[in-house]
Amino acid sequence: MKIKLTLLSSLILVSGLVKAQDSLMIRNIYDEELVNGQCYSNLHYLCKNIGQRISGSENAQKAIEWGKKLMEGYGFDKVFLQPVMVPHWVRGAKEEGAIIKGDQRISVHIAALGMSVATPKNGITAPVIEVQSLKELETLGKDAIQGKIVFFNRPFDPKFIETLYAYGTAGDQRFAGPAAAAKFGAVGVIVRSLTESLDYYPHTGATLYVKDGVNIPAAAISTIEANKLSTMLKMRSLPAVKFYFKQNCQTLPDAPSFNVVAEMKGSENPNKFITVGGHLDSWDLAEGAHDDGTGIVQSVEALRLLKVMGYKPKNSIRAVFFINEENGDRGGEKYAELANDNKEEHIAAIESDLGGFTPRGFTFEGVSPALLKSINTNWGPLLAPYGSGVLAAGGGGSDIGPLKAKSKNVVLIGYLPDSQRYFDVHHTPNDVFENVNKRELELGAASMASLIYLIDTHGLN
Amino acid sequence: MKIKLTLLSSLILVSGLVKAQDSLMIRNIYDEELVNGQCYSNLHYLCKNIGQRISGSENAQKAIEWGKKLMEGYGFDKVFLQPVMVPHWVRGAKEEGAIIKGDQRISVHIAALGMSVATPKNGITAPVIEVQSLKELETLGKDAIQGKIVFFNRPFDPKFIETLYAYGTAGDQRFAGPAAAAKFGAVGVIVRSLTESLDYYPHTGATLYVKDGVNIPAAAISTIEANKLSTMLKMRSLPAVKFYFKQNCQTLPDAPSFNVVAEMKGSENPNKFITVGGHLDSWDLAEGAHDDGTGIVQSVEALRLLKVMGYKPKNSIRAVFFINEENGDRGGEKYAELANDNKEEHIAAIESDLGGFTPRGFTFEGVSPALLKSINTNWGPLLAPYGSGVLAAGGGGSDIGPLKAKSKNVVLIGYLPDSQRYFDVHHTPNDVFENVNKRELELGAASMASLIYLIDTHGLN
């Protein structure tokens, strides 16, 4: 009994020491970041000196070169590029435009959806039919839809506390709406911008055509003007409302591009990996600050933090700037493919692609309730004082998703910032550096570095 | 044994039902707020149609009339004013200005500290002595300070996770610095703006002179220009730097003003009160959006929510628009005095005065560890899904603070929003409506209504 007690108290002592070490390490990570953080100035450079960087563009290539140089400057063990072919969609040089033609002509703000085809040179003019869902297309049928522009106008549901769920449930209108409407003979599609915010920004984003379908042009309209159009359609006393829009986008042949990878080599398990990343490409309308410049600069910052703390990881740790998340996911797929080819074992992958807002925590994809409980019990108290205490079941992210198919034991983790402001700027001309808060960005980077440290030190099981 | 078991399972059943009722009520509160919330449009009116409303001003009176009318419109059981005399400080009609006079003349942005005296009509020009703390004044002594302008330049400590602590530890420079410097013969004081943000906004805020002290003029300087001044002072090769500033502020005789109070009468304990409030006055430089327009509109919204849900409170519930928090706290003192005179028993008071940012939770002042634990156990799981799960020891707020002296059992509670962005706008010309996010504001209002419901239904013990 006495021996047992001694053993027990030794264990408690060791466990107490480990906790104190972890706590100290995490405090040091935050101190370094909040005093000497570099992610905010890196983001400034990316947004202001490079700017928009849609896949296949000259700017995307500039961003790749910038990313490689930045990583090399930090002196990690290895920096390399992973070649990958990416879609090359361009909005076109000529201006997009749209007009509601009712009893008066009202110019409205639209933006072609990513991967959409162009309208004919002189645009399309057609009567409009408003629907709230893809299902409603079936109810209405071909007779009602043929020859018309379908206007998807189901708003965000404000009752979701996390706006990501509102995006998730409204998003089918944008990514699947145009292909569905084409089946019923629609000549074009206008989609209400995916945001709860009432403003004049059209929110672009990818739409997916289907194989052997008719590809009809599709654009997003600002929420204020979606409301206006809807109101005019309801005024039956007026002449039938028509909608005109013109866009010049096209899909060019696939272009060569790259993921950019930095690596700190593991001292015990060099072939086991913990990866943290975001996506380097952005939509073409703005600077891609929150989507996903913040994820990029936070990822490399997490590695920088561990390096300047003198931390020697057991496992190899990588920061990955994935290419082509917005309209193809080719970078994420290539990374997983190469990991498989090279027989790299991935323990965990963390993705930051929900904006650089104040941290709330992390979501863990497909982990067992027991593991999630253990993560909460052991690491929750270490992260909660920094506002990152939410460690919940949830998605990882689309760049790291393909790793799962190749490596069943990998734990996919999404960085979870506060979501309230994200869809105010998401995919709009307003996604600019000025809307990122320095401390929020830094706290996120420090939380990622802390989680990587915990996973590397204690494992995930 | 059997009876006991039955009793136990009944208790569990009842407890389960109560939790389900609470959970449903809170969900309904959030639904109502996120779908039909009025606090954002109320804030818009306050900011854009009234604007700045410093105590004693015509605009403060307009805000009082607006607040009363707003409350009356919601049909609460009682709406009334509490008369109180308030300080009446004015910045003055003429422009403030400052120049660093080194090898060149550099105009810089200043703002007189609230309650400061004016400079002489032609301003003050004097050599500058930079200090990092009030203590340093003692080290330097009268010989070094006499006849000079003292420049307090200790920056925010970025290592605090909550910026409120950084404010707390740097704040003495502003509120006590001028009085302390005057004792050593300084002729004026310039204080580095209380923010970590590097920008050109001077942040005003109250300074406190001491009885029988010499009142010297004091102003805040923007952080970028504080850095510039500091750099110039360190360039010993240049001629000694002088600083010139001019301000025209003055303190007029106290003015009549009012707290504005709305009340829902308690069905069981009409003389027991739960109060929620913010302050109606603001600094004069901007619209007082986050400080404290958001607290005002959230407080009345909390009552509106309970009313539209058809909730009949056991205890009386009040929303209070306190006057004069910024430069006197007279409204808070008057409220406590009248509560005492009228023998009102206050169970709890909640204050929202840390900005209208995304909610984190609430802080409880001076409650026992046992009570705090019970609050966390019972209410934590109900509030955490809404992002308001932090229920920690901490401050209540300066408007509700005086209640404690009069009513020992009152629990003082501070609404705790995320603090990262607050000192970017606090007391600056940039504290405007546009910097408030609709959903963040609404989530805060719903969290306050939910907490009031829980306190009213279950008590606080």
> What mean pLDDT value characterizes chain B?
95
Residues 182-241 of B with CB under 8 A from A: 196-197
β-pairing verdict for A250-264 and A78-90: antiparallel
- Centroid of chain to Cα A150: 28
Residue A204 near residue A427 (C-beta atoms within 8 A) = yes
Cβ of residue A33 closer than 8 Å to a chain B Cβ: no
Predicted pLDDT at B366: 83
Which of A220, A248, A276 is the C-terminal boundary of a domain?
Answer: A248
Angle value at C-alpha B229, between B226 and B231, nearest 5 degrees:
110
Cβ of residue A385 closer than 8 Å to a chain B Cβ: yes
Grouping H, G, I as helix, E, B as strand and the rest as coil, residue B264 is strand
Residue B417 near residue A394 (C-beta atoms within 8 A) = no
A385 contact residues in B (CB cutoff 8 A) = 161
Interface test with B, best of A418, A436, A450 (most B CBs within 10 A): A418
Predicted pLDDT at A237: 64
When pLDDT is averaged across residues B225-231 and rounded to a whole number, the result is 97
- Asked if A333 and A452 sit in the same domain, the reply is yes
CA distance B42 to chain A (A): 17
- Residue B6: inside a domain: no
Comparing CB atoms, the residue among A158, A385, A420 nearest residue B437 is A420
Predicted pLDDT at A152: 98
Q: CA-CA distance, B11 to A403, in Å (whole number)? A: 49
Cβ of residue A165 closer than 8 Å to a chain B Cβ: no
Q: Kindly report, residue by residue over B340-371, the tens digit of the pLDDT.
A: 999 999 999 999 999 999 999 999 998 999 99
Cβ of residue B439 closer than 8 Å to a chain A Cβ: yes
Predicted pLDDT at A143: 97
Which of A216, A248, A280 is the C-terminal boundary of a domain?
Answer: A248
Cβ of residue B93 closer than 8 Å to a chain A Cβ: no
When pLDDT is averaged across residues B406-413 and rounded to a whole number, the result is 90
Instruction: Give residues with Cβ within 8 angstroms of A308, minimum separation 6.
Output: A32, A36
Q: What is the DSSP string of B292-303?
A: IIHHHHHHHHHH
Predicted pLDDT at A406: 77
B361 contact residues in A (CB cutoff 8 A) = none
pLDDT band at B102 (very low <50, low <70, confident <90, very high): confident
Cβ of residue B438 closer than 8 Å to a chain A Cβ: yes
Closest by CA position to A114, among listed A291, A293, A296: A291
When pLDDT is averaged across residues B21-35 and rounded to a whole number, the result is 98
Comparing CB atoms, the residue among A30, A421, A437 nearest residue B437 is A421
Predicted pLDDT at A67: 98
How much is the ipTM here?
0.94
A360 contact residues in B (CB cutoff 8 A) = 387
Asked whether the beta carbons of residue A159 and residue B30 sit closer than 8 angstroms, the reply is: yes
Asked whether the beta carbons of residue B443 and residue A420 sit closer than 8 angstroms, the reply is: yes
- Asked if B441 and B328 sit in the same domain, the reply is yes
Report in angstroms the alpha-carbon separations of B124 from A39, A151, B151: 42, 65, 14
Predicted pLDDT at B8: 47
- Asked if B446 and B365 sit in the same domain, the reply is yes
Asked whether the beta carbons of residue B30 and residue A161 sit closer than 8 angstroms, the reply is: yes
Comparing CB atoms, the residue among A34, A163, A385 nearest residue B159 is A34
A34 contact residues in B (CB cutoff 8 A) = 158-159
- Residue B428: inside a domain: yes
DSSP code of A114? Answer: B
B304 has pLDDT over 80: yes
B6 has pLDDT over 60: no
- Within 10 angstroms of residue A135's Cβ, the number of other Cβ atoms is 11
When pLDDT is averaged across residues B413-437 and rounded to a whole number, the result is 98
Residue B84 near residue B331 (C-beta atoms within 8 A) = yes
DSSP lists the bridge partners of residue B88 as B252
Cβ of residue A421 closer than 8 Å to a chain B Cβ: yes
A418 contact residues in B (CB cutoff 8 A) = 358, 387, 418
Cβ of residue A4 closer than 8 Å to a chain B Cβ: no
Q: Which two tokens stand for residue A349?
A: 């992958």
Residue B391 near residue A331 (C-beta atoms within 8 A) = no
Largest Cα–Cα distance of chain B, in whole Å? Answer: 93
pLDDT band at B184 (very low <50, low <70, confident <90, very high): very high
Asked whether the beta carbons of residue A161 and residue B443 sit closer than 8 angstroms, the reply is: yes
Q: Where are the beta strands (DSSP E) in B248-369?
A: 250-264, 269-279, 315-322, 345-351, 359-365
- Asked if B422 and B277 sit in the same domain, the reply is yes
Cβ of residue B326 closer than 8 Å to a chain A Cβ: no
- Asked if A65 and A100 sit in the same domain, the reply is no
Predicted pLDDT at B238: 62
- Asked if A263 and A397 sit in the same domain, the reply is yes
Instruction: Give residues with Cβ within 8 angstroms of B254, minimum separation 6.
Output: B56, B85, B86, B87, B88
- Asked if A296 and A445 sit in the same domain, the reply is yes
- How far apart, in Å, do the first and last CA atoms of chain B sit? 31
- Residue A76: inside a domain: yes
A438 contact residues in B (CB cutoff 8 A) = 196-197
Cβ of residue B35 closer than 8 Å to a chain A Cβ: yes
**Cis, peptide link before residue A103, omega less than 30° from 0:** no
Comparing CB atoms, the residue among B158, B196, B387 nearest residue A161 is B387
pLDDT band at B1 (very low <50, low <70, confident <90, very high): very low
Asked whether the beta carbons of residue A161 and residue B385 sit closer than 8 angstroms, the reply is: yes
- Asked if A298 and A389 sit in the same domain, the reply is yes
When pLDDT is averaged across residues B18-26 and rounded to a whole number, the result is 92
Q: What is the DSSP string of B196-235?
A: SS-SS-----B----TTS----EEEE-HHHHHHHHHHHH-
Higher pLDDT, B408 or A321: A321
- Asked if A228 and A332 sit in the same domain, the reply is no
Helix axis angle for B2-36 and B294-308, nearest 10°, is 120
A358 contact residues in B (CB cutoff 8 A) = 358, 418, 420
Which of B197, B222, B248 is the C-terminal boundary of a domain?
Answer: B248
- Within 10 angstroms of residue A65's Cβ, the number of other Cβ atoms is 14
Comparing CB atoms, the residue among B34, B161, B424 nearest residue A385 is B161
A3-7, A62-66, B108-112, B167-171: which has the minimum mean pLDDT? A3-7
- Residue B117: inside a domain: yes
- Within 10 angstroms of residue B139's Cβ, the number of other Cβ atoms is 9
Interface contacts A/B by beta carbons within 8 Å: 56
Comparing CB atoms, the residue among B34, B197, B418 nearest residue A418 is B418
Residue A446 near residue A25 (C-beta atoms within 8 A) = no
Residue A55 near residue A257 (C-beta atoms within 8 A) = yes
Tens-of-pLDDT digits for all 461 residues of chain A? 444 444 445 555 556 777 899 999 999 999 999 999 999 999 999 999 999 999 999 999 999 999 999 999 999 999 999 999 999 999 998 889 999 998 889 999 999 999 999 999 999 999 999 999 999 999 999 999 999 999 999 999 999 999 999 999 999 999 999 999 999 999 999 999 999 999 999 999 999 999 989 999 999 999 999 999 999 999 866 668 999 999 999 999 999 999 999 999 999 999 999 999 999 999 999 999 999 999 999 999 999 999 999 999 999 999 999 999 999 999 999 999 999 999 999 999 999 999 999 999 999 998 999 999 999 999 999 999 999 999 999 999 999 999 998 788 999 999 999 999 999 999 999 999 999 999 999 999 999 999 999 999 999 97
Q: Which two tokens stand for residue B39?
A: 């606090």
B10 has pLDDT over 70: no
Q: What CATH number did the domain enclosing B241 receive?
A: 3.50.30.30
Angle value at C-alpha A228, between A224 and A230, nearest 5 degrees:
115
Cβ of residue A420 closer than 8 Å to a chain B Cβ: yes
| Catalytically annotated residue among A325, A333, A344, A365 | A325
Report in angstroms the alpha-carbon separations of B435 from B193, B295, B429: 19, 14, 12
Comparing CB atoms, the residue among A196, A360, A440 nearest residue B439 is A196
Which helix or strand (DSSP H or E) is residue A411 part of?
Answer: strand A411-417
- Asked if B56 and B101 sit in the same domain, the reply is no
- Residue B16: inside a domain: no
Instruction: Give residues with Cβ within 8 angstroms of B53, minimum separation 6.
Output: B59, B60, B62, B63, B280, B281, B282, B288
Instruction: Dihedral sign for Cα A39, A329, A205, A275, please.
Output: negative
CA distance B360 to chain A (A): 9
Residue A343 near residue A271 (C-beta atoms within 8 A) = yes
Q: What CATH number did the domain enclosing A288 receive?
A: 3.40.630.10
Q: Is A337 a catalytic residue?
A: no
CA distance A425 to chain B (A): 12
Residue B260 near residue B71 (C-beta atoms within 8 A) = yes
Q: CA-CA distance, B418 to B163, in Å (whole number)? A: 9
Q: Which two tokens stand for residue B190?
A: 């310039």
- Asked if A81 and A107 sit in the same domain, the reply is no
Predicted pLDDT at A405: 87
Instruction: Give residues with Cβ within 8 angstroms of B312, minimum separation 6.
Output: B267
CA distance B248 to chain A (A): 34
DSSP lists the bridge partners of residue B412 as B349, B365
Report in angstroms the alpha-carbon separations of B80 from B76, B225, B325, B413: 11, 46, 19, 23
Residue B348 near residue B413 (C-beta atoms within 8 A) = yes
Cβ of residue A158 closer than 8 Å to a chain B Cβ: yes
Cβ of residue A434 closer than 8 Å to a chain B Cβ: no
CA distance A180 to chain B (A): 30
B163 contact residues in A (CB cutoff 8 A) = 439
Backbone angles phi, psi at B316, to 5 degrees: -75, 140
- Asked if A229 and A265 sit in the same domain, the reply is no
Closest by CA position to B359, among listed B321, B336, B390: B390
B2 has pLDDT over 90: no
Q: Is A361 left (phi over 0), alpha (psi -120 to 50) or beta?
A: left
Split into its structural domains, chain A has a count of 2
Comparing CB atoms, the residue among A197, A424, A437 nearest residue B420 is A437
Q: Which two tokens stand for residue A361?
A: 């925590």
Q: Which two tokens stand for residue B329?
A: 């706290």
B337 has pLDDT over 60: yes
- Within 10 angstroms of residue B134's Cβ, the number of other Cβ atoms is 17
**What is the residue range of A111's domain?**
95-248
**Cis, peptide link before residue A292, omega less than 30° from 0:** yes
Predicted pLDDT at A3: 44
Asked whether the beta carbons of residue B421 and residue A438 sit closer than 8 angstroms, the reply is: no
- Residue A61: inside a domain: yes
3-state secondary structure A263-294: EECCCCEEEEEEEEEEECCCCCCCCCHHHHHH
Give the residue numbers of B marked as catalytic.
Answer: 325
3-state secondary structure B135-187: HHHHHHHHHHHCCCEEEECCCCCCCCCCHHHHHHHHCHHHHCHHHHHHHCCCC
Asked whether the beta carbons of residue B158 and residue A35 sit closer than 8 angstroms, the reply is: yes
pLDDT band at B239 (very low <50, low <70, confident <90, very high): low
Closest by CA position to A352, among listed A302, A306, A317, A393: A302
Residue of chain A whose alpha carbon sits nearest to that of B439: A420
Cβ of residue B30 closer than 8 Å to a chain A Cβ: yes
Asked whether the beta carbons of residue A440 and residue B421 sit closer than 8 angstroms, the reply is: yes
When pLDDT is averaged across residues B191-216 and rounded to a whole number, the result is 96
Closest by CA position to A132, among listed A116, A154, A113: A154
- Residue A5: inside a domain: no
- Residue A335: inside a domain: yes
CA distance B417 to chain A (A): 11
Task: State the amino acid at position A277 in one-letter form.
Answer: G
Comparing CB atoms, the residue among B34, B360, B420 nearest residue A159 is B34
